[in-house]
Amino acid sequence: MKCTRCRAQAEINLRSHHSAFCRPCFILFFQRQVERTIKKEQMFTPEERILVAVSGGKDSLALWDVLIAQGYQTAGLYLDQGIGEYSVHSREKVERFAALHNTLLQIVSLAEEAVSVPTAAQFTNRVPCAACGTMKRHFFDQYAIAGGFSVLATGHNLDDEAARLMGNVLHWQTEYLAREKPVLQPTHPRFVRKVRPLYRLSEMETAVYAFFRGIDYVIEECPNSGGATQLFYKEMLNKIEAQMPGTKSSFVQEFLRSAQPLFVAPDGTPPRECEVCGMPSFASVCSFCRLVQEVERKREKQKSSHHKSESQQV
Amino acid sequence: MKCTRCRAQAEINLRSHHSAFCRPCFILFFQRQVERTIKKEQMFTPEERILVAVSGGKDSLALWDVLIAQGYQTAGLYLDQGIGEYSVHSREKVERFAALHNTLLQIVSLAEEAVSVPTAAQFTNRVPCAACGTMKRHFFDQYAIAGGFSVLATGHNLDDEAARLMGNVLHWQTEYLAREKPVLQPTHPRFVRKVRPLYRLSEMETAVYAFFRGIDYVIEECPNSGGATQLFYKEMLNKIEAQMPGTKSSFVQEFLRSAQPLFVAPDGTPPRECEVCGMPSFASVCSFCRLVQEVERKREKQKSSHHKSESQQV
């Protein structure tokens, strides 16, 4: 097969794009697709400073790589979740990538700044992914504001978007559907714009990009892999895609074009500020601070009952 | 396992309802579910005359059976599509059922009144299911009006609804989503109300009902089985249901409750009347009459070229 662009030997065949590419042309194609999405959706301009949330996986590092290559002003933000070996490995990959590109990287250790994901899950009876999500959102916003960034970019790809859309549609989560957009404008001065520049590129395409660019990323999945349901939806969507190529993309695109505007977020009161941390919140104390407080309370209780049983033993 | 209702030995376990039933209690359960749907959705009253579209399959005969058992005033309408053995067998099943219940049955032969499905498909390059759908809609409306019925009932079950919804959602067919309701009010005096009293009961449940009631139905699928895509969606939904029981039902129910009202059918002009048959139509000639005219035109052409070649041979 020949490269659609330069007629050299193709290395990758993109059925849903009716194209095949050699290595350099695929890299160009991928970067241009991202650039087009950024422009079309007015995600950000070269004048803005962009905080890229990086996990060490292929998607977020591929995104960061493209943004650096296109000359955007970026910094990485890595949240060390304290999930054993997985966090150790993913942190190493992110640090190596940042060093290689000589670019800014902010590392936040959840264990130091708040509480690690496993501890939070253990003390609050939450599933790890729920605790992780709450803390991620909090620190993403906090560090974006603190660092003077106007935009937070995440590496969600088409498969992530389609799986999330499928889950929200199967249960008709209309409030979530109302916020399911590649660009979310801030609803409070301490929130920043949130963007997903890879939302039109498939998981396979980001994986190929990362491979062609020689990006060294963490391959293992998070061991909590709360994504069990997400993975299941992805599998379903891959079966549909195999039967009807292009469906995954049109499912997401057509949703954004013709259905998404129908789902209007309930107006309600704008967020106020959390009494503890000062970040935007709908309750007097934000969900992040409530989580941390709950862990502290239960830790204290455990300690004191531990003390009691020790003194009883004496 | 014991029957949830009467504690006798259960014959059927309904996971998504968290119930098990013996034969008589399942029949009662099924009939009550249908009755509840009819009342809740205000489909029709015992004072109205209901035309039941019957194909000879399990769903439509189960529906007719329930409506007769509940004492509604019904008549069956069977469209003989002229699809070889399949039509012969299904017609026999319908005739037998009507005779057994001593109830009214109207048989319409497409070949006699218009053109058989295979002929229509052959002469117009349409897929058989497209031609069949156009003709079905025409005759359902025409016979309902002619016979003084105010309602047309079809046997679509939950699996049909869920598969149709999935197809419309994957491609975000907003106009179709706007009309995806279990009760469609007529938009013209020559249209009747269209209702789907089985839309909350699964395919498995209707099959079990038909079996428990000893209904003799045609098991073979229509050989055109244009439902290839529908069948694929049903398979996907069955996989999702197996993983997350109850999803199929909540997908349809929650759509109707919270999303369907957001999809508004474009107002546009109300239908006028077809210049040929007088039935409601958006064009000067309705799609049914256009189909029939096309077949006639092409038949004539074929005949005359056949004549020519014959006279040339002489």
pLDDT digits (tens, 9 = 90+) for A280-290: 998 999 999 99
Look at residue A313 in the predicted model and tell me its pLDDT.
61
Buried b vs exposed e over B239-253: b needs ≥16 C-beta within 10 Å?
ebbeeeeebbbbbbb
**What ipTM does the predicted assembly reach?**
0.86
Strands A73-80 and A183-184, sheet pairing: unpaired
* pLDDT-based confidence at residue A86 (cuts at 50, 70, 90): very high
Of the listed ranges A182-186, A192-196, B138-142, B218-222, the least confidently predicted one is B218-222
Give A-chain residues touching B169 at CB under 8 angstroms.
169, 251
* pLDDT-based confidence at residue A264 (cuts at 50, 70, 90): confident
Q: How far is B122 from chain A (nearest CA, A)?
A: 26
B159, B202 contact by CB (below 8 A): yes
Tell me which residues of chain B have a pLDDT lower than 70.
Answer: 226-227, 267-268, 310-314
Q: Do A171 and B232 touch (CB under 8 A)?
A: no
- Residues of A with a Cβ under 8 Å from any B Cβ are 169-172, 174, 177, 229, 232, 236, 239-240, 243-244, 247, 250-251, 254-255, 257-259, 262-263
The DSSP secondary structure of B194-263, one letter per residue, reads: EE-TTTTS-HHHHHHHHHHTT-----SPPTT-TTHHHHHHHHHHHHHHHHSTTHHHHHHHHIIIIIGGGS
Look at residue B128 in the predicted model and tell me its pLDDT.
87
Look at residue A267 in the predicted model and tell me its pLDDT.
67
B141, B279 contact by CB (below 8 A): yes
A174, A7 contact by CB (below 8 A): no
Q: How many CA atoms are closer than 13 Å to the CA of A82, on its beta-carbon side? A: 19
* A5 has a pLDDT exceeding 60: yes
Q: Do B236 and A232 touch (CB under 8 A)?
A: no
Using CB atoms, pick whichever of A172, A243, A251 lies closest to residue B259.
A172
**Which pair of tokens denotes residue B290?**
């256009």
Give A-chain residues touching B251 at CB under 8 angstroms.
169-172
Find the residue in B nearest to A233 (Cα). B240
Dmax (CA) of chain B: 82
Using CB atoms, pick whichever of A172, A236, A259 lies closest to residue B174.
A259
Question: What DSSP element (H or E) covers B73?
Answer: strand B73-80
Using CB atoms, pick whichever of A243, A244, A255 lies closest to residue B172.
A255
* pLDDT-based confidence at residue A302 (cuts at 50, 70, 90): confident
Give A-chain residues touching B240 at CB under 8 angstroms.
170, 232, 236
A50, A151 contact by CB (below 8 A): yes
Task: Count contacts between A and B (CB, < 8 Å).
Answer: 57
Q: Do B236 and A240 touch (CB under 8 A)?
A: yes
Among B165, B166, B169, B233, the strongest candidate for a mutation testing the A interface, having the largest count of A CBs within 10 A, is B169
Q: Which amino acid is at B67?
A: L
Find the residue in B nearest to A178 (Cα). B259
B224, B55 contact by CB (below 8 A): no
* A308 has a pLDDT exceeding 80: no
Closest CA to A60 of A200, A239, A207: A207
Look at residue A114 in the predicted model and tell me its pLDDT.
86
Find the residue in A nearest to B241 (Cα). A170
Look at residue B229 in the predicted model and tell me its pLDDT.
87
Euclidean distance between CA atoms A110 and A90, whole angstroms: 14
Look at residue B218 in the predicted model and tell me its pLDDT.
94
Question: Whose structure tokens read 């001593």?
Answer: B102
**Which pair of tokens denotes residue B28?**
């009662």
Euclidean distance between CA atoms B156 and B197, whole angstroms: 8
Euclidean distance between CA atoms A46 and A39, whole angstroms: 11
Q: How far is B59 from chain A (nearest CA, A)?
A: 25
**Which pair of tokens denotes residue B121?**
């498909």
Neighbouring residues of B153: CB distance < 8 A, sequence distance ≥ 6: B43, B44, B50, B51, B52, B53, B63, B67, B74, B194, B195, B196, B197
Look at residue B312 in the predicted model and tell me its pLDDT.
66
Q: How far is A170 from chain B (nearest CA, A)?
A: 5
Q: Which of A174-178, A205-209, B262-266 has the highest mean pLDDT?
A: A205-209
Euclidean distance between CA atoms B21 and B15, whole angstroms: 11
Q: Specify the higher pLDDT residue, A226 or B203.
A: B203
Euclidean distance between CA atoms A13 and A22, whole angstroms: 9
